[in-house]
Amino acid sequence: MKLEIERVKLKPRHPFEIARGVLHERDVFVFALTWEGVTGFGEASPSPYYGEDSETVTAAIKQVKNELDGTPGKIKSRIASGDLRKTLDNHASVRAALDMALWDLIGKTEGKPIYAMLGLDPNKTPATSFTIGIDAPEVIDAKVDEAAPYRILKIKMGFPGDMAVLDRIQARSKKTIRVDINEGWDIETSLQLCRELDQKGVEFVEQPIHHECEDDLRTLKRLSPLPVILDESIINPDDVWARRDQGHGINIKLMKCGGLTPALTLIEEARRAELRVMLGCMLETSIGITAAAHISPLADYADLDGNLLIANDPFVGVAVHNSKLVLPDGPGLGVTRLDTT
């Protein structure tokens, strides 16, 4: 198995700010795995919050590059639960890139899109939200106007004055609103503001409290009139049962859990625990977003807009029509590179 890596510097259309900080650019890594003349593509978008960055990705690639022996199916199993899973334990985005590249490669070999390999109906994809990051009021106005093609907005909150920003957005747009706090509130603030958000017609609130405050999350789930979706609290399948009493649903990100294979297990566990499922993302190209979109018929919600938030996506894959995800019908991921010549 031959592995080639390309580093791509993504440029957000606007500086991307959440409760933890602001992002002006992001390095991602495109993986190309070739086996018997067929190449599959994957993407690693490392997040410092989860202990990854460009240096850790580069080091992990060097560690495993010469260990990718065997058929695509065998290597995929090794990444999911074998020796490569152990080696890459702290490198979820690298596991994600390898895993989706292998799914792409196998799909191309079989001549089937990934959704067809899984027996999923491409017409049952959910609508994706479009994220409005923290910014100056006039810039937020511009962002809301730019989001005109999308019928669901996800508002980043968790900072002083965030409710006034929400009011401003709702005065400008009558779209469905979801809010993401990125652990920016405490329990008292959460209890108060979740009641206010419910009165304002907000659909749900995502990770309002830090994931280590488990008792507070349990209290909030019990008392909140709004559904609480856990993001930072959920990484691996074991987290679902350990935290099922702390939220009403979970946000699954391929870069956080390690790819399509563990994401499918997370969905199964969430359904067993009677939790709702959202598929989310980091800032990513259409490779990573399309990979997640292929399993979106299994989800209740989608927040797969990472490629829509960047100005220099070098790939084309999943499309969005009236917010609904439209899957490509090519084999594997169905992703192609833009011709920039």
Per-10-residue mean pLDDT for the chain, 341 residues long? 96 75 85 97 96 96 94 96 96 98 98 98 97 87 91 94 94 94 96 97 98 98 98 97 97 98 98 98 97 98 96 96 96 90 46
> How far is the C-alpha of 308 from the C-alpha of 320, rounded, in Å?
9
> How far is the C-alpha of 309 from the C-alpha of 135, rounded, in Å?
14
> The dihedral of CA 176, 285, 79, 292: what is its sign?
positive
Where along the chain do the CATH 3.20.20.120 domains lie?
117-337
CATH of domain 117-337: 3.20.20.120
Homologous superfamily of the 2-111 domain (CATH):
Enolase-like, N-terminal domain (3.30.390.10)
pLDDT computed for residue 341 by the predictor: 46
pLDDT computed for residue 24 by the predictor: 78
pLDDT computed for residue 17 by the predictor: 65
In this prediction the pTM is: 0.95
- State in Å, rounded, how far the first CA of the chain is from the last one: 30
Burial 213-246 (b: 16+ CB within 10 A, else e): beebbebbbeebebbbbbbbbbbebebbeebbeb
pLDDT computed for residue 134 by the predictor: 81
DSSP E strands, the chain: 2-10, 16-18, 21-23, 26-35, 38-44, 130-132, 152-156, 176-180, 205-206, 228-230, 249-252, 276-279, 301-302, 315-316, 319-321, 324-326, 336-337
CB within 8 A of 20, min separation 6: which ones? 49, 182, 183
Largest Cα separation within the chain, whole Å, is 59
Where along the chain do the CATH 3.30.390.10 domains lie?
2-111
pLDDT computed for residue 262 by the predictor: 98
